[in-house]
Structure 1
Amino acid sequence: MQELDLEIDLEKSLGPWLGKTIKITDYYLHEAFQQHGLDISKEQMIVLGKLNKNDGLNQNEIADLIWRDKSSLARLLAKMERKGYIIKRQHEQDRRVNLVYLTESGREIFRKTRPIIQKAINILEMDLSKSEIKRMIEILKRIQDNFTKELKTL
């Protein structure tokens, strides 16, 4: 069988540019949280945000919302529980289901992340027009839809 010699110009592909942007953003948030004395990761902050909007989600719902597999989410939630940011309680009707709730400490640290997140958004959108931001969101949604559709075929 002959091996195909495929030349891929990564500089002209969206993947590496999206990946690098995500890594820079993650690094910025990590450094900013540390600088403000906040013991939280971006992933933990995202979970706190989801619970802040809808407290008492079950672990499967959280996994679906943040695109994490169940085992890595379980580790993340265990760490957050040790830090005192969340508490897990068994569902009254179905003991196999854990519901996740914010603690007062979790609400407080989430509140403290808000100015840092807003500054990150301001940096991210600096020198972009409202129409460019809107268009970028539309494009990213299409990319996400493309992958979501493809994942269903795997």
Structure 2
Amino acid sequence: MEKLNSIIFYNIDKAIRAYRNYAQRQLKANGFTITIDQWLIIKAILENPGIPQNEIGDLVFKDNASVTRIIDLMVKSDYITRQVHPEDRRKTHLEVTDSGKKVIREVQDIVEKNRKVALKGVTTKELEVMYSALLKISENCLNH
């Protein structure tokens, strides 16, 4: 039987978890209370103005309940505002506040340093091959 360390998907998940834990520790060590998930959701809203809340979950790989919980916390932290759609109460309009935009700008240097640390020793060619392989895996699973 194959060992866990020889399974590519185990190693992909391990790398992602290691990176997320490292990145979160770096944010905390630099005095930020924002989480990686909050950062992802703010970025998703900024990059996709008017995006429905249920589509945010698809973008950041979270279920709707988790996205709702994270958004609730970010509304309380004044990172985003949430307004009910005037014609359809099931829909909400999310907007990043000035405070949310500010925290994204402030953590950008840390995010870039985190990526640099994580990718140390990985060549551009290796990144290109990895990116291509990961896209193929995603397409295979989504189109099957």
Number of aligned residues: 144
> Could you tell me which amino acid in structure 2 is paired with residue 135 of structure 1?
V
Q: Does 1:87 align with 2:81?
A: yes
Q: Which of structure 1's runs of 4+ aligned residues deviate more than 6 A?
A: none
**Matches of 2:132 and 2:123, distance apart in 1:** 14
* Range 17-26 or range 139-148, more displaced: 139-148
Following TM superposition, by how much is the alpha carbon of 1:104 offset from its aligned partner in structure 2, in angstroms?
A: 0.9
Following TM superposition, by how much is the alpha carbon of 1:43 offset from its aligned partner in structure 2, in angstroms?
A: 0.7
Give the alignment's TM-score, normalised by structure 1: 0.86
Q: What's 2:36 paired with? A: 42
Give the superposed CA RMSD: 1.5
**Matches of 2:122 and 2:99, distance apart in 1:** 36
Give the alignment's TM-score, normalised by structure 2: 0.91
**Structure 2 residues without counterparts, runs of 5 or longer:** none
Q: What's 2:20 paired with? A: 26
Partner secondary structure for residue 99 of structure 1: strand
Q: Does 1:144 align with 2:138?
A: yes
User: Would the aligned equivalents of 1:47 and 1:62 in 2 still touch at CA under 8 Å?
Assistant: yes
Identify the match of residue 9 of structure 1 among 3, 8, 13: 3
Q: What's 2:101 paired with? A: 107
**Matches of 1:94 and 1:11, distance apart in 2:** 49
> Could you tell me which amino acid in structure 2 is paired with residue 65 of structure 1?
L
Q: Does 1:132 align with 2:95?
A: no
Following TM superposition, by how much is the alpha carbon of 1:98 offset from its aligned partner in structure 2, in angstroms?
A: 0.7
**Matches of 2:140 and 2:34, distance apart in 1:** 32
Following TM superposition, by how much is the alpha carbon of 1:14 offset from its aligned partner in structure 2, in angstroms?
A: 0.7
Q: Does 1:117 align with 2:108?
A: no
Following TM superposition, by how much is the alpha carbon of 1:95 offset from its aligned partner in structure 2, in angstroms?
A: 2.2
Identity of counterpart residues, as a percentage? Answer: 25
Identify the match of residue 76 of structure 1 among 64, 67, 70: 70
Following TM superposition, by how much is the alpha carbon of 1:67 offset from its aligned partner in structure 2, in angstroms?
A: 2.1
**Matches of 1:65 and 1:46, distance apart in 2:** 9
Partner secondary structure for residue 143 of structure 2: helix
